[in-house]
Amino acid sequence: MSACAVQPWVSPSVSLSLVKRGEETPGPQARLRPLTGACLRSRGVSEVSHWRALLRVQASRPSAVRCGGSATRGRTDCPSLCTEQEKDPKYWRDQAQQTLKNALGLQKLNTKVAKNVILFLGDGMGVSTVTAARILKGQLHHNPGEETRLEMDKFPFVALSKTYNTNAQVPDSAGTATAYLCGVKANEGTVGVSAATQRSQCNTTQGNEVTSILRWAKDAGKAVGIMITTRVNHATTSAVYVLSSDGTGYVIMGGGRKYMYPKNKTDVEYEVDEKARGTRLDGLDLVDIWRSFKPRHKHSHFVWNRTELLALDPYTVDYLLGLFEPGDMQYELNRNNITDPSLSEMVEVAIKILKKNPRGFFLLVEGGRIDHGHHEGKAKQALHEAVEMDRAIGKAGTMTSLEDTLTVVTADHSHVFTFGGYTPRGNSIFGLAPMVSDTDKKPFTAILYGNGPGYKVVGGERENVSMVDYAHNNYQAQSAVPLRHETHGGEDVAVFAKGPMAHLLHGVHEQNYIPHVMAYAACIGANLDHCAWASSAGSLAPGALLLPLTLLPLSVLF
């Protein structure tokens, strides 16, 4: 047994002081071996801190007991914890019966018109990322993590989305954006156009343009908002701006200042940083142009920092453009809490502004840097981005109603990200697997990538992760194949839905089905025959659909 070995369970009497002193816990049924200096060095400070905090919380819980059985598969890392109630089969049976009762309650479908629609898009948030983010969320609250519920986990309807592009088995973010925003599948590398358009062949574009659901919403008189943690001219938002002459959004927030200003214009925040200067070769100031498109009797605001954003009175703002970084916004772990707002804060301000519209709103929120973290092999950055997006989902939920707001959470694609290795309950999501490789006799982290920049060979062998700080924010998890940038994954991604007509997202669907459901629920787009109308003027009356259980053929919707 290694110097770091501990029994896979702890007594409720284990205290932080005992762990610090390296003393053994007395008692006939529980003993914690000391975390020695060698163990501390090999495990990384952050992971040890996680365990100390977890042990402290568990020590305060009288119900914490050994979760029966001896150590298996060479588990030597850290204690696996369960509660007394989890030991009792009645706990699990009662939990299942309550879940069944809740599911039966869903038989009464919500077929009202969705006055508001919110689409949360986790860029690159595959199922493995969702699961790992769930565990991280719990561990950030000093719990084991696996039992935690994300906000999206609470949504009653879940489906799977097939993400392939028309010419690609594993998709890119441009073609997928066209699918889940414009309702048609497209080729990789193209955005806002049908599959009849070929990448890099501009003469195939004309006549093949398609519009997005944000345009459909705006044409129906709804307010429109776009939040993104990358730059606002990223792939997802590009599908929105296509064919929109006035910038589309009532509210637009994200990064990307330097792309809005003439080349070499000094940035308002990073005055001495040449890389932050304007990049436009056409000499245009797009912020001024954005202002010029707004009606003079309306109140338009441009903000570039968190202080300005939070100082706004949302009830006096008609249009808002917020650009908080020259390029992409900072990772949540690196964010300056004074100058840069969180995604949750942006969502809160946006909803306060948009909900003033009596006809409702459509809000697109993208956690774009989940994708960046994975491409860089930095799982810790990616997962903290996912947790922050989940906070934003929760914030939106407190500000809206299930009666009139359809909320959908999904991803454009997955990544070749995984975690495994028979880790025990409560193992730090960024920690080591409880065994060494039976081939090269070296330890490995639970999180790994199929390919990417984490592939490292030292002395002709796989790098020994115990010699590096694998708990560092920018640690690049090991990968099987060396690549400068990790790639997307091709498996289906989850779709979570709640609110009016959410039950229409229910099985395995093509990705382009998603905007058709949202449009049907909100009574926007080309086909409005199924909607209830309040008057001949055409104003929507939020209420039951005339044909609540009979979907018209989707082929005639758009």
Residues designated catalytic = 173
What are the φ/ψ torsions at residue 116 (nearest 5 degrees)? -120, 150
Q: Are 380 and 475 in contact (CB under 8 A)?
A: yes
Residue type, 371: D
As given in the structure block, the two tokens for residue 334 are 């690196």
Residue linked to tokens 């975690």: 419
Q: Are 371 and 415 in contact (CB under 8 A)?
A: yes
User: 3-class SS at 209?
Assistant: strand
For the annotated binding site for Mg(2+), the residues are 123, 234, 236, 366
**Residues in Cβ contact with 85 at an 8 Å cutoff, skipping those fewer than 6 apart:** 63, 91
The DSSP secondary-structure symbol of 199 reads T
**Residues in Cβ contact with 327 at an 8 Å cutoff, skipping those fewer than 6 apart:** 231, 255, 256, 258, 276
**Length, in residues, of the chain:** 558
CA dihedral 417, 422, 424, 426 (to 10 degrees): 10
Residue linked to tokens 């086909």: 527
Q: Are 178 and 167 in contact (CB under 8 A)?
A: no
Burial class (CB in 10 A: 0-12, 13-18, 19+), 548: middle
For the annotated binding site, the residues are 123, 234, 236, 366, 371, 375, 412-413, 488
**Residues in Cβ contact with 203 at an 8 Å cutoff, skipping those fewer than 6 apart:** none
For the annotated binding site for Zn(2+), the residues are 123, 371, 375, 412-413, 488
Stretch (H or E) spanning 21 = helix 16-21
